[in-house]
């Protein structure tokens, strides 16, 4: 007869019309008896059940002729070990069957440990005298709960079997907690740096007798025996220091760092005394002319302007040069460039940060810069015929919508350019030409 069985415990599945005759034996031997040990059964094991400390438990099947239940049947609810000859291991050998259930484990041996695990895994190890509940997590068996004889430190216990006496103090041993018995009243604990602390009298140690008077700013006095006290060499004021036998006045600069005199901003002095900071060198003082060599950003807010200027100056470069060819306009050098000699030909203006810095590097997307180029014209006028940024041609947006095609004779032509960075190496230039005469 073909017997269908459950996935985990290999129990026979009762189907309609098969309960009589031979099927009744399968029911008793393969279902009833197995449910009995699966719910309340205890398999008591000793060293005789372990081969060199190892035992593999397997799911067994009841048949028509017998239960086949043995000490290593994995269906047992509880496994209890005792009289072990060495540290021992129980391995659940079934690939699928029985792995998914929980087990109660009792290590009644007084000397050796018991490890319970899935095949190829590390499992859970019970100390002598320990009882535990374990469950399968899909890979291995994990500890659900444990009692006696100790609770590990990692689980909030002491990992110690000793019962502390009243007034005892716990100390760590490296793997557990031990206890130092209560000491004599008034004693204090003294560490030895490595093992159990000891109780010692509060007056133990070498202390110099000291007397203190109220004229030195201290109240009360004591002397003699092992009672600690302080003696002032003189009546003093200021910062005090000890010299091994008495207290005296401390010296500024030798015994402590004294702050500088006067009212000023202080600065650190490479580990030495604080010093007065220098305006213009260490900080920017209000009302003091200061040259900034780094970019200064004034952000303001959505309701407050970033800068309010009553007046401002811009740098202009005045040069006795005639406009011709390609003229590099360095925006980091000036805001206004003025050529005072008559232009000799149409010219190209190339905007850049400087000879070593491109305008693309100098500016971020969404920023703009505005500059002016003043060109002196003679009887024959010339004009700015091309515009570049970092050596690349840019067609400007002209004021009025039409590109100029000539200059203005016997005049000064003022060209104003607003350069807006719209992306990486992408610029829009707004240009105008105005005659001054």
DSSP-derived secondary structure for 81-97 = E-S-SS-EEEEE--SST
**Domain-located, residue 32:** yes
Closest CA to 237 of 228, 229, 246, 247: 247
- CA dihedral sign, ordered 9, 10, 16, 21: negative
pLDDT at 145: 86
The H or E element containing residue 433 is strand 426-436
Q: What is the pTM (predicted TM-score) of this model?
A: 0.41
Q: Strand ranges (DSSP E) for 111-207? A: 114-118, 124-126, 131-136, 141-147, 169-172, 177-180, 188-190, 198-200
Rounded Cα distance, 67 and 28, in Å: 8
Q: Note whether 39 and 127 are same-domain residues.
A: yes
Structure tokens at 387: 């515009």
Q: Note whether 28 and 144 are same-domain residues.
A: yes
Rounded Cα distance, 351 and 361, in Å: 12
Rounded Cα distance, 348 and 343, in Å: 12
**Domain-located, residue 169:** no
pLDDT at 419: 98
Q: Note whether 142 and 214 are same-domain residues.
A: no
**Domain-located, residue 328:** yes
Q: What is the CA radius of gyration of the chain?
A: 48
- Domain, as residue range, for 71: 22-149
Q: Note whether 144 and 29 are same-domain residues.
A: yes
pLDDT at 280: 66
**Domain-located, residue 93:** yes
The H or E element containing residue 36 is helix 33-40
Assess contact for 94 and 136: CB atoms under 8 A: no
Rounded Cα distance, 351 and 335, in Å: 12
Q: Note whether 347 and 425 are same-domain residues.
A: yes
Pick the last residue of a domain from 110, 129, 149.
Answer: 149
β-bridge mates for residue 253, sequence order: none
Closest CA to 334 of 383, 291, 298, 369: 369
Q: Note whether 145 and 208 are same-domain residues.
A: no
Angstrom distances, CA of residue 48 to CA of 55, 57, 88, 315, 355: 10, 15, 11, 102, 92
β-bridge mates for residue 393, sequence order: 388
Assess contact for 87 and 50: CB atoms under 8 A: no
3-state SS, residue 40: helix
pLDDT at 185: 80
pLDDT at 286: 75
**Domain-located, residue 59:** yes
**Domain-located, residue 170:** no
Instruction: Please count the structural domains in the chain.
Output: 3
Rounded Cα distance, 193 and 243, in Å: 29
Q: Note whether 145 and 30 are same-domain residues.
A: yes
pLDDT at 231: 56
The tens place of each residue's pLDDT in the chain, 437 residues long, gives: 566 777 666 677 766 655 555 667 778 887 888 888 888 899 999 999 999 999 999 888 888 889 889 999 888 999 999 999 999 999 998 755 556 679 999 999 999 999 999 999 999 999 999 999 999 988 899 999 887 666 666 555 666 666 677 777 877 776 677 778 877 887 888 887 777 888 888 765 444 444 544 444 444 444 444 444 555 555 666 677 777 767 777 777 667 666 666 666 777 766 666 777 777 677 777 777 778 888 888 889 999 999 898 999 999 999 999 999 999 999 999 999 999 999 999 999 999 999 999 999 999 999 999 999 999 999 999 999 999 999 999 999 999 999 999 999 999 999 999 999 999 999 999 999 999 99
Closest CA to 69 of 99, 100, 93, 35: 35
3-state SS, residue 279: strand
pLDDT at 196: 80
DSSP-derived pairing of the beta strands 124-126 and 114-118: antiparallel
Q: Note whether 321 and 410 are same-domain residues.
A: yes
**Domain-located, residue 421:** yes
**Domain-located, residue 42:** yes
Which spans in 153-274 are helix H?
none
Assess contact for 146 and 156: CB atoms under 8 A: no
Rounded Cα distance, 146 and 150, in Å: 9
3-state SS, residue 152: coil
Pick the last residue of a domain from 212, 227, 245.
Answer: 245
SS3 content of the chain, % helix, strand, coil (to 5): 10, 35, 60
């Amino acid at each position: 007869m073909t017997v269908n069985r459950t996935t985990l415990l290999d129990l026979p599945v009762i189907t309609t019309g098969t309960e009589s005759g031979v099927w009744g034996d399968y029911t008793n031997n393969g279902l009833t008896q197995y449910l009995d040990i699966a719910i309340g059964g205890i398999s008591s094991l000793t060293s005789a059940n372990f081969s060199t400390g190892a035992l593999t438990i397997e799911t067994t099947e009841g048949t028509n002729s017998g239960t086949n239940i043995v000490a290593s049947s994995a269906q047992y609810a509880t496994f209890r070990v005792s009289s072990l000859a060495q540290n021992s291991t129980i391995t659940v050998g079934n690939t699928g069957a029985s792995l998914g259930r929980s087990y109660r484990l009792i290590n009644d041996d007084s000397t050796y440990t018991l490890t319970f695990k899935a095949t190829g895994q590390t499992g859970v190890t019970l100390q002598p005298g320990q009882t535990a509940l374990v469950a399968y997590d899909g890979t291995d068996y994990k500890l659900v709960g444990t009692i006696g004889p100790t609770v590990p430190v990692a689980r909030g216990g002491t990992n110690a079997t000793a019962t502390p006496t009243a007034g005892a103090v716990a100390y760590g041993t490296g793997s557990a907690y031990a206890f130092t018995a209560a000491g004599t009243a008034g004693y204090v604990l003294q560490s030895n740096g490595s093992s159990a602390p000891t109780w010692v009298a509060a007056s133990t140690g070498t202390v110099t007798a000291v007397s203190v008077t109220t004229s030195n700013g201290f109240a009360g006095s004591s002397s003699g025996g092992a009672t600690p006290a302080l003696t002032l060499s003189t009546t003093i004021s200021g910062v005090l220091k000890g010299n091994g036998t008495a207290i005296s006045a401390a010296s500024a600069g030798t015994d402590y760092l004294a702050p500088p005199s006067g009212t000023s901003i202080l600065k650190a002095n490479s580990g030495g005394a604080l010093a007065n900071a220098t305006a213009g060198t260490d900080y920017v003082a209000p009302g003091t002319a200061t040259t900034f060599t780094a970019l200064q950003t004034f952000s303001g807010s959505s309701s407050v302007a970033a800068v309010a200027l009553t007046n401002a100056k811009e740098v202009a470069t005045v040069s006795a040069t005639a406009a011709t060819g390609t003229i590099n306009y360095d925006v980091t050098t000036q805001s206004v460039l003025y050529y005072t000699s008559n232009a000799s030909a149409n010219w190209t203006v190339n905007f850049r940060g400087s000879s070593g810095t491109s305008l693309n590097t100098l500016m971020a997307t969404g920023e703009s810069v505005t500059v002016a180029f003043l060109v002196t014209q003679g009887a024959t006028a010339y004009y700015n015929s091309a515009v570049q940024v970092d050596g690349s041609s840019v067609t400007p947006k002209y004021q009025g919508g039409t590109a100029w095609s000539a200059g203005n004779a016997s005049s000064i032509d003022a060209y104003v350019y607003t350069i807006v960075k719209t992306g990486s190496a992408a610029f829009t230039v707004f240009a105008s030409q105005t005659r001054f005469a």
